[in-house]
Amino acid sequence: AAGVIQSPRHLIKEKRETATLKCYPIPRHDTVYWYQQGPGQDPQFLISFYEKMQSDKGSIPDRFSAQQFSDYHSELNMSSLELGDSALYFCASSRPNIRGVEQFFGPGTRLTVL
Amino acid sequence: AQTVTQSQPEMSVQEAETVTLSCTYDTSENNYYLFWYKQPPSRQMILVIRQEAYKQQNATENRFSVNFQKAAKSFSLKISDSQLGDTAMYFCAIPGDSGAGSYQLTFGKGTKLSVIP
């Protein structure tokens, strides 16, 4: 069965650089969530999309932006990177968009900021 | 706001034995769901089991079962016949409802389970 695809899997950036993380949800899934998991931490919600519209925002810095495209893939854009942005970034997708439906997680993108 | 508390940062169990991981939560809602996710060393997040709050019957999935106590807001995970592949971080989670059509998960801090051969 198809799974959530995230690219790149690993990314190394310098401080103040920009990064773009991509997420390809499971086919026909219309809802995407982004989570950030710092070292030794639990995942924290960043932002979500349903049917190409942003549905909610969590603890996402103003330096970050995201969107969902017409083919339902999503991109998380991160600018002015800081050391504290080093983390594992997960994308999760689901369908239908109702409470209690399993969110399928991608393998994550490990971002290291030097 | 919803909160999830896992009071056991680390646990260990002998292979083939049974172990129970604890989770308590707080929510003001009456109808909700609860999840246990597993994160093995690969860091992939995998759904283990799901419970619907309005269902009295505890959910089971093969060797995994829950003890759901709604009044106490407790949602523990029991793993029977533990296997080496069960070694992972386990997160208890509850999906929220922001009213904007988003059901993002709030996770507990996790319990690191080690299965000892």
Give me the pLDDT at residue B41, please.
Answer: 94
User: Which DSSP helix (H) or strand (E) runs through B9?
Assistant: none
How sure is the predictor about B29, in pLDDT bands with cuts at 50, 70 and 90? Answer: confident
Q: Is A82 on the interface with B (CB under 8 A)?
A: no
* CA closest to A91 among chain B residues: B45
Chain B contact present for A90, CB below 8 A: yes
Write down the pLDDT at residue A98: 81
Q: In the predicted model, is pLDDT for residue B99 greater than 80?
A: no
Q: Tell me what percent of the residues of chain A surpass a pLDDT of 70.
A: 100
CB A37 within 8 A of CB A45: no
Mean pLDDT for the stretch of residues B1-30: 95
pLDDT tens, position by position, B44-93: 999 999 999 999 899 999 999 999 999 999 999 999 999 999 999 999 99
Taking the CA of residue B44 and the nearest CA in chain A, the distance in Å comes to 5
| pLDDT, tens digit, 9 for 90 and up, residues A64-75 | 999 999 999 999
For chain A, say whether B30 makes contact (Cβ under 8 Å): no
Q: What is the mean pLDDT of chain B?
A: 95
Q: Which residue of B has its CA nearest to A87?
A: B43
Q: Is A3's Cβ below 8 Å from some Cβ in B?
A: no
Q: Given CB atoms, is A43 within the 8 Å cutoff of chain B?
A: yes
Model confidence band, residue B13 (pLDDT cutoffs 50, 70, 90): very high
User: Given this model, what pLDDT does residue A100 score?
Assistant: 84
Whether the pLDDT of residue B100 is over 80: the answer is: no
Read off the pLDDT band of A57 (50, 70, 90): very high
**Where does the pLDDT of residue A31 fall: very low under 50, low under 70, confident under 90, or very high at 90 and above?**
very high
The confidence band for A28, taking pLDDT boundaries of 50, 70 and 90, is very high
Inter-residue contact A35 to A48 (CB < 8 Å): no
Inter-CA distances, A108 with A37, A85, B50, Å: 9, 14, 22
Place A109 in a pLDDT band, splitting at 50, 70 and 90. Answer: very high
Say if the Cβ atoms of B110 and A107 lie within 8 Å: no
Query: Is A92 within 8 Å of chain B by CB?
Result: yes
In the chain, the amino acid numbered A1 is A
Report the alpha-carbon distance of residue B33 to residue B113 in Å, rounded: 23
Give the residue-averaged pLDDT of A69-85: 97
Least confidently predicted of A16-20, A37-41, B53-57: B53-57
pLDDT beyond 90 at B114: yes
Q: How far B54 CA lies from chain A's nearest CA (Å)? A: 12
Is there a contact between B105 and A58 if contact means CB atoms under 8 Å apart? no
SS3 letters for chain A? CCCCEEECCEEEECCCCCEEEEEECCCCCCEEEEEEECCCCCCEEEEEEECCEEEEECCCCCCEEEEECCCCCEEEEECCCCHHHCEEEEEEEECCCCCCCCCEECCCEEEEEC
User: How far is residue A48's CA from residue B113's CA, in Å, rounded to a whole number?
Assistant: 30
Per-residue pLDDT at B97: 79
